Chain A
Amino acid sequence: MKQDFQFEMIPAAETGEAVLRLIGTLSVNTVTQVHENLGDLKPCDRLVVDMAKVVRLDTAGAWALSDLERRLTGSGGTMEMRNLSAESAQLLESVRRAMPEKEGAPPDRKDFAALLERIGQTVVAGARFLLELTGYLGLFFARLGRVMRHPSEFRLTALVAHAEDVGLRAVPIVALMAFLIGVVLAFQGSAQLRQFGAEVFVVDLIAISILRELGILLTAIIVAGRTASAFTAAIGSMKMREEIDAMRTLGLDPATVLFLPRILALLVMLPILGLIADVMGLFGGALMAWIDLGISPSMFRTRLVEGTDVSHVFVGLVKAPVFALIIGVVGCHAGMQVKGDAESLGRMTSNAVVTAIFAVIVADAMFSIFFAQIGL
């Protein structure tokens, strides 16, 4: 199909009417050209548009003609179509009737007050977010108390399923991560300590850093990435499909049915994962100390038992339930904030991960200060 457009303009003669002869295709492919050419026309009182040689007219072409007509009538002229086929006339008529009236959109304000307003809104939204998270935490404890009084409402199957999902399935990645961290610590530590001839202290270095901080913190970060996003996606897609509303109308409480088993599963599994991470971290460290420094496993064990207080394990693992609560509550809360569209699901999922990891690290910092203050 030839996509060509030409036109001839025969200016107003004594009859007082100008004739515009259009030739070729008036379609979406030529509309830019058509619109430019027709826009250059000088306004005249009576314009006759001859369509005899138009091969093809589509909505875009009809739009250009309607636009021309609108401009002419706007400046007090008239426009008349000639040699128009029946189909084209019908098309032109539907387009003419549908020509949109432009409404100006309210302009964006860009002054200082608008900036202040945006900052204020962000601050309020942040405060409200914290308040809502606290609300969800309270809701979790309230439902936990309720379930303790009415154990029949508790869904053990769901708890076990979620425990498998957040706990058992996370074991390989957590174990591997902790093992590698142990290896890295031993390697880096030995390189530094060798300068002072204090190689044997690498055992203390590995034990304290892994048991106190890294084992549980890195586990929590991995679980936050894995599980907070999974919670948000699962609850969010249920929210999108109105499943949560359906639950409410059936007399099921979403907090009991959805949040409780998920957060409880995390609460149970995160300390176990933390313990696995501790063991694997020590194992990795011991292996590297043996290879790199020649500290035999039995020597490593003796040094570990003598030099490292069991309170380090306690300090590490006591954080696990708090991290679990943070991850679970953030994930469930974000899931409930999903709106009707898929885009908000994606946004809330990534928000949940970022918030959970950030909150875990903040909580860890506060724990450090706390333990330093009480001298543990």
Chain B
Amino acid sequence: MMDSGPRETVIRVRSLKNQFGAHVVHENLDLDVYRGEILGVVGGSGTGKSVLLRSITGLQKPKAGSIEVFGVNVLSEEESARESLEERWGVMFQDGALFSSLTVRENVEVPMRSVPGLAPAIRRDLADLKISMVGLPYSAGDKYPAELSGGMRKRAGLARALALDPEIVFLDEPTAGLDPIGAAAFDTLIRNLSRSLELTVFLVTHDLDTLYAICDRIAVLAEKKVLVTGSLEDMQKVEHPWVREYFHGPRARAASETQASRVATGEE
């Protein structure tokens, strides 16, 4: 899927600049995301990973630069163009960001309400399907977000992000705060969904295991821009001190060994 000729760019960020007061977060940031890939965005705390995500999804207005998603300029297009864009992407926020006054099922139904002519009974069944696809039990649909654990809230957030079968999903630290088993299950879930739904995944993460397990490409944020992009093997060769430390540290080694043993036992 990845090798077939020139890949279609679905997100194109050029010379992006973000600034809070005197604090410059991004300057001259360029990034391309291709269709069907899982892109992992990494970087130290405070390098603006979430700010980048918020800029691309139009939640944060950048100081300068251009952002195109499916060839549509996120920053300047009119309302109607942006609305159709919003149906083509889904965002999962760090803690799920579920609406606390709605049950999980109603949360998942929210984006579906904008579909004309979708019968309520079918909408309900589809919501149940999405809830089940992200690995939540049927009974979770009737619960309110406050009654769920952190991991379940993340899954429910993913179910809502996937409600309309978007082409891109943005995931903000999907495995942060999950136990290792839950995190591994979440990784598998994202990979399976991305394969079967042909999703493009924009993934902000700190989790090295996630990077090793599911990401096709990695973008490193440092020095206010995307320092380098490439596969894991490419990362090993980068000489930048932060990148070196990140991908050669003890945790990275442990994660790569886990992944190697996983591949060896044929779990892939």
Contact = CB atoms under 8 A, between A and B. Distances in A.
A63 B116 CA distance: 18
A107 interface: no
Interface residues of B, number: 32
B165 A28 contact: yes
A362 B12 CA distance: 65
Nearest to B117: A32
Give the top 8 A-B pairs by smallest Cβ distance, nearest first.
Answer: A341-B146, A100-B132, A58-B165, A341-B100, A98-B133, A98-B132, A90-B196, A94-B196
B198 to A, nearest CB: 6
Contacts of B116: 29
Interface in B115-140: 115-119, 122, 125-126, 128-133, 138-139
Contacts of A94: 133, 192-193, 196
A159 to B, nearest CB: 33
B142 A28 contact: no
Contact of A27 (B100, B142, B165, B196): B165
Given A28-B164, A59-B162, A341-B145, 15 more contacts: A32-B119, A59-B129, A59-B197, A63-B126, A63-B129, A67-B125, A87-B196, A87-B198, A90-B196, A91-B196, A99-B129, A99-B132, A102-B128, A341-B100, A343-B101
A79 interface: no
Contact of B122 (A35, A59, A91, A340): A35
Q: Point out which of A98, A100, A101, A341 has the most chain B C-beta atoms below 10 A from its C-beta.
A: A100
B104 to A, nearest CB: 12
Nearest to A92: B196
A60 interface: yes
A103 interface: yes
Nearest to A61: B165
A95 interface: yes
A358 to B, nearest CB: 25
Interface string A193-235: 0000000000000000000000000000000000000000000
Given A87-B196, A341-B100, A95 B129 contact: yes
A31 B122 CA distance: 8
Contacts of B131: 100
Given A58-B165, A59-B129, A32 B122 contact: yes
A45 interface: no
B195 interface: yes
Interface in A97-111: 98-103, 105
Given A87-B196, A91-B196, A28 B115 contact: yes
A98 B189 CA distance: 12
Contact of A90 (B129, B162, B195): B195
Nearest to B139: A103
Given A103-B138, A341-B145, A31 B195 contact: no
A343 B100 contact: yes
Nearest to A93: B196
B112 interface: yes
A343 B129 CA distance: 27
Contacts of B122: 31-32, 35, 60
Contacts of A105: 142
A63 B133 CA distance: 11
Contacts of A124: none
B118 A28 contact: yes
B115 A29 contact: yes
A59 B100 contact: no
A303 interface: no
Nearest to A102: B138
Contacts of B198: 87
Interface in B176-215: 192-193, 195-198
A103 B142 CA distance: 11
19 contacts: A28-B164, A29-B115, A29-B116, A31-B122, A32-B119, A32-B122, A59-B130, A59-B133, A60-B165, A94-B193, A95-B129, A98-B129, A100-B128, A100-B129, A103-B138, A105-B142, A341-B144, A341-B146, A342-B100
A339 interface: yes
Contacts of A27: 165
Contacts of A29: 115-118
Given A28-B165, A90-B195, A343-B100, A59 B126 contact: yes
Contacts of B195: 90
Contacts of B112: 28
Nearest to B120: A32
Contacts of B125: 63, 67
A59 B165 contact: yes
A105 to B, nearest CB: 6
Contacts of A344: 146
Among A60, A94, A102, A342, the most chain B Cβ lie within 10 Å of the Cβ of A60
A58 B115 CA distance: 14
Nearest to A32: B119
Interface in B139-168: 139, 142, 144-146, 162, 164-165
Contacts of A342: 100
B118 A31 contact: yes
